[in-house]
Structure 1
Amino acid sequence: MGLSASPLSLKDQLAFYGAYHTNHVNVLIHIVCVPLIWMTALSLLLTSEVGLHKIISPLPMSVQAHLLDLDAMFSASLPANVYQHMNMASWIAVCYWIYYAMLDKTIAILFAPLWTAFYASAFYLAHNNPHAGTISWSIFIASWAAQFYGHGVHEGRAPALLDNLLGAVVLAPLFVFIEVLFFLGYRKDMQIELKNETGRRIKEVKQAQAQAKHAKAH
């Protein structure tokens, strides 16, 4: 069950993602690499110089005019050190967090300081290191490679993104944060419920694979 099936069900979304991450080594790799991928992705956006004009260029002229007026209002009314954070990276981060809040307000609030720190780290790297692009690309690619290694060697199952790209990309940061919360003893009832649901989904996948092999053999 992917993101489109039950977009506002935390249980369904985490069970979908969790079914692809049951091996402890693979989960640990993701806990390290997912934040690195997220921060370097933000850093790459911040160094890409993709401005508002390029983003809105495919939109109708009337819509572009309203967005440019809004941007001009922000530029005129906000201090420069605040307006500089009105960028594509920050807006994407805000949209992610809003979605997490729709799934579970308490978890989203707990995640907010760390989520802000991720953006702040990316912003600092992008604006204070002349080699930010090279550093970000190197960490980004190495982190993805490590995750594929975790799936191929330890999990023995393809990553979730091969079945549901949007669900995997959107859910990954929240999933690893909740994994850490669970390790710290957060909401044992939710842990048990998700473990049972994840087990059920894995059983269904194995049964489907076994049936497919049987049908192929005959």
Structure 2
Amino acid sequence: MDRWVDPDETDPEAWGGSAAVEGGGVRSVLERADATPLPYQYEVDLLHEGGVAETFRSREYERARVIYNCGVDAERRVKLLTRGVLWGGEERHQRFKAQYRREPPPTETVPFGEYTVWTRFQYGTIEPNDDGATFVPDESDAGETMQDLDWADLYAPVQRRLAELELARNPAFARYRLEESGEWADVRAALAFDPTAFAVGP
């Protein structure tokens, strides 16, 4: 028995309008990356809830507020600065800053290879006040590190931001490296309909 097929289900115009047929439609991730002028910089403030301990491979925290300051400068140097706080559960609260860098061309490093990471963290207590909350540090309990980290060792939210920056810096090469590692489909899906990604919307 033949299955009935709704012609509207297979008609591109019914789904995407006439622009889909005429070649307008939604810009691809690569097109948006290529249209992003350098220098490129933006900042986003996110609250992470659920799976925070796993996402940030940390203590049993339940929430993280992270400000991501993302940029590629005129020399094509990738810079991502994160700062925020981790709290919840039975752990002492923690604030941190971290900077992820990859040098401008010519460089021996490749996208999604190694990144130089500077990190500073401090424990303390988040105390509510009239303006919301204040972090009160324990001055005797702080640390600082500088190291080169592989792409696979970076946190997923950091990878998401760096993927966007690398695509803005060099779209074709970044896509090639992501295809090579089998990550292009996931990155493309994450960025495709994100209106905050790149300087050009979907």
TM-score tier, shorter chain, comes to under 0.3
Between 1 and 2, higher relative CO (CA 8 Å, sep ≥ 6) is seen in: 1
Output the TM-score relative to the length of structure 1.
Answer: 0.23
Flag the structure with higher strand content. 2
Flag the structure with higher helix content. 1
